[in-house]
Amino acid sequence: MFGRPNKRPEKEEHSWKWLSRFAAIIMTVVYAVYVSNVVYNYIPFDSWWLDFLDTCVFYGPIVICAVTAVASVSNKGLIIRLAFLAVWVLIFLFSFFPETFYNIIY
């Protein structure tokens, strides 16, 4: 009754771990294609496919870090999860709108 509150179900934690593993595998494939394209140049320079790979290479590590961190805090308390969410909202906001960072800081 007065002990530690019930932890979140293991199923939710397992799904976040599965999602982080899937994201890591996809990013490994993206980096392999990206690097091999630098060597062999089989994707045209002005194609949408290369733009997509550039975007994945830029934002992929952020997504992997976010999903892995969510998996690690999924069974923590509400305050920890809200603090984590606030930090990642700022990271994504500053990634997509860098001028916002300069308006807030300077």
- Residue 6 pLDDT > 70, yes or no? no
Domain that holds residue 21: 9-75
- Residue 13 pLDDT > 80, yes or no? no
Token digits of residue 81:
């999860």
Domain count, the chain: 2
This model's pTM is above 0.85: no
Residue found under tokens 């996809």: 26
Report helix, strand or coil for 70: helix
The answer to whether residues 84 and 95 belong to one domain is yes
The answer to whether residues 52 and 83 belong to one domain is no
Backbone angles phi, psi at 75, to 5 degrees: -105, 15
